[in-house]
Amino acid sequence: QVQLVESGGGLVQVGGSLRLSCAASGRTFSRNAMGWFRQAPGKEREFVAAISWTRSSTYYADGVKGRLTISRDNAKNTVSLQMNSLKPDDTAVYYCATRATFGSTWYASTVDYWGQGTHVTVSS
Protein backbone atom coordinates (compact mmCIF):
# COMPACT_ATOMS: atom_id res chain seq x y z
CA GLN A 1 0.00 0.00 0.00
CA VAL A 2 1.07 3.54 -0.76
CA GLN A 3 -0.55 6.55 0.85
CA LEU A 4 -0.49 9.89 -0.96
CA VAL A 5 -1.47 13.19 0.63
CA GLU A 6 -1.67 16.38 -1.44
CA SER A 7 -1.42 19.94 -0.20
CA GLY A 8 -0.97 23.44 -1.56
CA GLY A 9 -4.21 24.03 -3.40
CA GLY A 10 -6.18 27.23 -3.08
CA LEU A 11 -7.56 30.28 -4.82
CA VAL A 12 -5.33 32.25 -7.16
CA GLN A 13 -5.88 34.95 -9.76
CA VAL A 14 -5.28 34.51 -13.46
CA GLY A 15 -1.56 34.64 -14.20
CA GLY A 16 -0.65 33.68 -10.66
CA SER A 17 1.28 30.70 -9.33
CA LEU A 18 0.73 27.81 -6.95
CA ARG A 19 2.90 24.94 -5.82
CA LEU A 20 1.24 21.62 -5.06
CA SER A 21 2.97 18.99 -2.98
CA CYS A 22 2.33 15.31 -2.45
CA ALA A 23 3.76 13.33 0.45
CA ALA A 24 4.06 9.59 -0.03
CA SER A 25 4.29 6.91 2.60
CA GLY A 26 3.96 3.17 2.84
CA ARG A 27 5.62 0.97 0.26
CA THR A 28 8.90 2.03 -1.34
CA PHE A 29 8.26 5.33 -3.02
CA SER A 30 11.52 6.01 -4.76
CA ARG A 31 11.13 3.28 -7.39
CA ASN A 32 7.68 4.38 -8.54
CA ALA A 33 6.81 6.79 -11.30
CA MET A 34 4.75 9.70 -10.00
CA GLY A 35 2.18 11.80 -11.72
CA TRP A 36 -0.48 14.46 -11.38
CA PHE A 37 -4.00 14.35 -12.78
CA ARG A 38 -6.82 16.84 -12.51
CA GLN A 39 -10.57 16.77 -12.71
CA ALA A 40 -12.67 19.82 -13.46
CA PRO A 41 -16.37 19.93 -12.54
CA GLY A 42 -18.39 17.82 -14.94
CA LYS A 43 -15.33 16.50 -16.75
CA GLU A 44 -13.31 13.33 -16.69
CA ARG A 45 -10.05 13.05 -14.81
CA GLU A 46 -7.17 13.97 -17.10
CA PHE A 47 -3.43 13.54 -17.08
CA VAL A 48 -1.28 16.58 -16.28
CA ALA A 49 2.35 15.53 -15.72
CA ALA A 50 4.56 12.58 -14.75
CA ILE A 51 8.11 11.99 -13.61
CA SER A 52 10.24 8.85 -13.49
CA TRP A 53 11.72 7.61 -10.25
CA THR A 54 15.22 8.59 -11.40
CA ARG A 55 13.91 12.10 -12.25
CA SER A 56 15.58 11.75 -15.66
CA SER A 57 12.31 11.71 -17.57
CA THR A 58 9.25 13.93 -17.40
CA TYR A 59 6.09 14.01 -19.47
CA TYR A 60 3.45 16.72 -19.74
CA ALA A 61 0.03 17.15 -21.23
CA ASP A 62 0.13 19.53 -24.18
CA GLY A 63 -1.99 22.16 -22.48
CA VAL A 64 0.38 22.64 -19.54
CA LYS A 65 3.79 22.49 -21.21
CA GLY A 66 5.92 25.49 -20.32
CA ARG A 67 3.65 26.51 -17.42
CA LEU A 68 3.69 23.52 -15.07
CA THR A 69 6.77 21.73 -13.79
CA ILE A 70 6.84 18.41 -11.97
CA SER A 71 9.67 17.49 -9.61
CA ARG A 72 10.36 14.96 -6.89
CA ASP A 73 12.58 14.49 -3.87
CA ASN A 74 13.08 10.80 -3.23
CA ALA A 75 14.88 11.44 0.04
CA LYS A 76 11.79 13.23 1.38
CA ASN A 77 9.26 11.02 -0.43
CA THR A 78 7.60 14.01 -2.03
CA VAL A 79 6.54 15.09 -5.50
CA SER A 80 5.64 18.65 -6.41
CA LEU A 81 3.87 20.50 -9.18
CA GLN A 82 4.89 24.11 -9.73
CA MET A 83 2.11 25.90 -11.59
CA ASN A 84 2.78 29.26 -13.21
CA SER A 85 0.78 31.52 -15.50
CA LEU A 86 -2.42 29.92 -14.30
CA LYS A 87 -5.59 30.16 -16.38
CA PRO A 88 -9.27 29.71 -15.48
CA ASP A 89 -9.17 26.36 -17.36
CA ASP A 90 -6.67 25.11 -14.79
CA THR A 91 -9.42 25.15 -12.16
CA ALA A 92 -9.85 21.58 -10.96
CA VAL A 93 -9.18 19.10 -8.22
CA TYR A 94 -5.58 17.96 -8.60
CA TYR A 95 -4.68 14.39 -7.72
CA CYS A 96 -1.31 12.87 -7.00
CA ALA A 97 -0.85 9.44 -8.53
CA THR A 98 1.70 6.67 -8.66
CA ARG A 99 2.38 3.51 -10.58
CA ALA A 100 5.32 1.15 -10.98
CA THR A 101 6.37 2.16 -14.49
CA PHE A 102 6.90 5.54 -16.16
CA GLY A 103 6.07 5.42 -19.89
CA SER A 104 4.38 8.11 -21.95
CA THR A 105 0.83 6.83 -21.72
CA TRP A 106 -0.90 7.84 -18.53
CA TYR A 107 -4.55 6.97 -18.24
CA ALA A 108 -6.45 7.06 -14.98
CA SER A 109 -6.96 3.30 -15.33
CA THR A 110 -3.19 2.72 -15.29
CA VAL A 111 -2.67 4.35 -11.89
CA ASP A 112 -2.04 2.11 -8.90
CA TYR A 113 -2.66 4.61 -6.07
CA TRP A 114 -4.35 8.00 -5.75
CA GLY A 115 -4.26 10.82 -3.28
CA GLN A 116 -7.47 12.41 -2.02
CA GLY A 117 -7.03 15.54 -4.16
CA THR A 118 -6.51 19.24 -3.56
CA HIS A 119 -8.65 22.03 -5.00
CA VAL A 120 -7.23 24.69 -7.27
CA THR A 121 -9.40 27.62 -8.31
CA VAL A 122 -8.16 30.23 -10.76
CA SER A 123 -10.29 33.37 -10.75
CA SER A 124 -10.47 35.87 -13.59
Summarised one tens digit per residue, pLDDT across range 16-40 is: 999 999 999 887 666 889 999 999 9
Q: Decide: helix, strand or coil at residue 29.
A: coil
Q: How far apart are CA 32 and CA 40, in angstroms?
A: 26
Q: Read off the pLDDT of residues 33-85 as tens digits, 9 standing for 90 and up.
A: 999 999 999 999 999 999 999 888 999 999 999 999 999 999 999 999 999 99
Q: How confident is the model at residue 103 (pLDDT cuts 50, 70, 90)?
A: confident
User: What backbone torsions phi and psi does residue 110 show, to the nearest 5 degrees?
Assistant: -95, -5
Q: What residues pair up with 79 in beta bridges, in sequence order? A: 22, 72
Contacts of 70 (CB under 8 A, 6+ apart): 34, 35, 36, 49, 50, 51, 58, 60, 79, 80, 81, 82
Task: State residue 30's pLDDT score.
Answer: 65
